[in-house]
Amino acid sequence: MAGALLGVHAGDALGATVEFSPWSAIRASYPDGPREIVGGGAFGWPPGHATDDTDLTRAVLLAYLESGDEDVVRSSARHMLDWLEGRWPGRAQGSNPRDVGRATLTGLRRFAASGDPYTSGCGQGQAGNGSLMRCIPTALAVPDRERRISESMQISGITHSDTRCTVACAAYNEMAAALLEGQPPAEAVAIGQTTAQELGSKPVADAIGYGSQLKPAMLVLTGQTFLEDDAAGYVLDSLSLAVAAVLDERPFPDVVVDIVRLGNDADTNGAIAGGLLGARDGAAAIPPRWVSLLQFEEEFHAAATVLAVRRSAA
């Protein structure tokens, strides 16, 4: 379980350096891809510091760690709002996040006004990857498939209620859960695609199918992915790249580096792919020199232990 959380964190931190950069610029600066966590980037991140991807993953994780709170959706929304309003580690009290996506900002402002996380989402037409990047704690915390799918979709819907987003989160978490249970990657991907089909989303099922045909090591040769939004923030592009990553048999760092070096929304694509790769390979597969820099490394290890104990007792 720690591998999944740290995989998100590591992919995020690695990609933060080149976020918004095109493939060509990354290739010029990093001929072999960015292979170290050095921070910087558009927002001047300290090395290993969480961006919104990891921070909001932590918000959902905190909701699952709390005991006695039966409404994990509402709890997730409250923690996300804490992040937005500056009640968060590593930031001055009341300070704004360095980066926040448009749909995330809109959804959290609506939640702050209404107190209802079930109606705060932006609705159809806003299909960014801002809920997919934070969804993996549900796969770790919930052993029951029906509940896992429901909560994946509801937590997405706090900000991203377009069905492409909600179903993408459900399918992704079914893949992650299958990997955690020891299923091989191809079987996990098939489970994710079946989930999308069961939920009636052909676009999500097709995105998983397309990702199954992509080879990250080939994509980085030209930078041409033929993805709809060129991996610049569209939820189905990020989902396709994550599928391609988890089916790639190479070690964790080689695959994550290739996902990141494609550019554009590099940190989020790295985080989403890193979560599945971490679920596949475990925490030991992530380079220790990367892990040692991660802002929430100790907290995520401790959280994974708690969730694993709970799961074994369920």
pLDDT at 68: 61
> Rounded mean pLDDT of the chain?
97
CA distances from 63 to 24, 57, 58, 74, 94 (A): 40, 10, 9, 8, 21
- Other Cβ atoms within 10 Å of 299 Cβ, number: 17
pLDDT at 101: 96
Residue 305 labelled as part of a binding site: no
Residue pair 277/9 in contact by the 8 Å Cβ criterion: no
Whether pLDDT at 69 is above 70 = no
Q: Is residue 28 packed enough to be buried (19+ CB in 10 Å), middle (13-18) or exposed (0-12)?
A: exposed
Residue 281 labelled as part of a binding site: no
What the block records as the tokens of 61 is 């994780």
Any idea where the domains of the chain sit in the sequence? 2-313
Summarised one tens digit per residue, pLDDT across range 88-100 is: 999 999 999 999 9
Q: Which of 17-31, 60-74, 209-223, 245-259 has the lowest mean pLDDT?
A: 60-74
What whole-number distance in Å separates Cα of residue 233 and Cα of residue 235? 6
The mean per-residue pLDDT over the stretch 45-53 comes to: 98
pLDDT at 283: 98
The mean per-residue pLDDT over the stretch 196-201 comes to: 98
Whether pLDDT at 119 is above 90 = yes
Residue 12 labelled as part of a binding site: no
Whether pLDDT at 127 is above 70 = yes
Residue 194 labelled as part of a binding site: no
The mean per-residue pLDDT over the stretch 182-193 comes to: 98
What whole-number distance in Å separates Cα of residue 173 and Cα of residue 53? 16
pLDDT bracket for residue 215 (50, 70, 90)? very high
Q: Which residues pair with 128 in a beta bridge?
A: 234
What whole-number distance in Å separates Cα of residue 16 and Cα of residue 42? 8
Whether pLDDT at 1 is above 80 = yes
CATH class of 2-313: mainly alpha
67: helix, coil or strand?
A: coil
Helical (H) or strand (E) element with 126: none
Alpha helices in the chain (DSSP H): 2-16, 23-29, 52-65, 72-85, 102-114, 136-141, 145-157, 163-180, 185-198, 202-213, 216-222, 235-247, 252-260, 266-281, 288-291, 297-313
Residue 268 labelled as part of a binding site: yes
pLDDT at 312: 82
223: helix, coil or strand?
A: coil
Report the percent of the chain where pLDDT is more than 70: 99
pLDDT bracket for residue 139 (50, 70, 90)? very high
What are phi and psi for residue 249, nearest 5 degrees?
Answer: -80, -5
Contacting residues for 296 by C-beta, under 8 A, at least 6 apart: 9, 50, 54, 58, 89
Whether pLDDT at 203 is above 70 = yes
Q: Which of 63-67, 141-145, 182-186, 271-275 has the lowest mean pLDDT?
A: 63-67
Whether pLDDT at 277 is above 80 = yes
The mean per-residue pLDDT over the stretch 219-239 comes to: 97
Residue 82 labelled as part of a binding site: no
